[in-house]
């Protein structure tokens, strides 16, 4: 009778398991042995899960370059997991944990909250963080706008400078054409007419023809 009960229990346990797991436990003869092994396995997994959550809580750090409120909400989800594992944290402890994990860029906010963290609720802290996020976001936008305005001013000045330079270059070129021959023409002397022989290409002082009678 006992052997029949053992076989039925063993069959029920194995049928409720995945095939790969059932195959490894089917070699055990006793249903109680299978049950105790499974209990120990899941108890160990549960303990490892609790340790992992606690370690994650202690190692948690907020990032300075990201908006703070979404990060805090993720941290609160972790606190909820601790609560689910029957490791509840009172609100004041959560408030202290959030304030202590703020990054270096939030040092002023940290100092302000640290002075009153024992008297501030979690809800009030979340509101303070939301306001601080908004202020920092606006400051970043203002800084970016100033940088863009400065860059546009430099580009405008450079463009105007190029326009003035181009205008002077055209003016100088026009004056050169009106007032005299080009440098190339001056160098070649092809435009020069000799007053002695009436030929082009040299001055009278360079003329090798006989001087005209006066």
pLDDT, tens digit, for every residue of 37-59? 766 666 656 667 777 888 888 88
- Cα distances (angstroms) measured from residue 3 to each of 7, 31, 36, 141: 6, 10, 18, 77
End-to-end CA distance of the chain: 158
Write out pLDDT tens, residues 98-142: 999 999 999 999 888 877 756 789 999 999 999 999 999 998 888
What is the structure's pLDDT at 61? 92
Q: Give the chain's radius of gyration (CA, Å).
A: 46
- Cβ atoms of residues 140 and 147 within 8 Å: no
Residue 60 sits at φ, ψ, to 5 deg, of: -65, 130
Residues 6+ apart with CB under 8 A from 14: 22, 25, 26, 34
What is the structure's pLDDT at 183? 47
Q: Is 6 exposed, middle or buried (0-12, 13-18, 19+ CB in 10 A)?
A: middle
pLDDT at 90 over 50: yes
How far apart CA 34 and CA 7 sit, in angstroms, is 12
- Cα distances (angstroms) measured from residue 1 to each of 13, 29, 121, 146: 19, 15, 63, 88
- Residue 80, token pair as written in the block: 């909820």
pTM over 0.85: no
- Cα distances (angstroms) measured from residue 46 to each of 51, 53, 138: 9, 11, 45
Residue 203 sits at φ, ψ, to 5 deg, of: -90, 165
């Amino acid at each position: 009778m006992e052997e029949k009960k053992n076989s039925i229990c063993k069959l029920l346990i194995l049928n409720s398991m995945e095939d790969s797991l059932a195959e490894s436990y089917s070699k055990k003869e006793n249903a109680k042995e299978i049950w105790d092994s499974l209990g120990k396995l899941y108890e160990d997994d549960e303990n490892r899960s609790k340790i992992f959550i606690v370690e994650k809580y202690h190692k948690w750090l907020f990032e300075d370059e990201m908006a703070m409120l979404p990060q805090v909400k993720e941290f609160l989800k972790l606190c909820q997991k601790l609560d689910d594992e029957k490791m509840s944290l009172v609100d004041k402890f959560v408030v202290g944990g959030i304030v202590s994990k703020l990054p270096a860029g939030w040092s002023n906010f940290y100092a302000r909250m640290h002075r009153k963290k024992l008297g501030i609720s979690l809800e009030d802290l979340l509101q303070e963080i939301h306001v601080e996020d908004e202020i920092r976001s606006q400051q970043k936008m203002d800084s970016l706008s100033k940088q863009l305005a400065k860059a546009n001013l430099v580009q405008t000045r450079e463009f105007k400078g190029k326009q003035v330079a181009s205008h002077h270059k055209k003016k100088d070129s026009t004056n050169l054409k009106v007032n005299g021959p080009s440098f190339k023409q001056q160098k070649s002397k092809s435009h020069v007419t000799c007053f002695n022989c009436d030929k082009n290409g040299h001055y009278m002082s360079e003329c090798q023809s006989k001087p005209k009678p006066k």
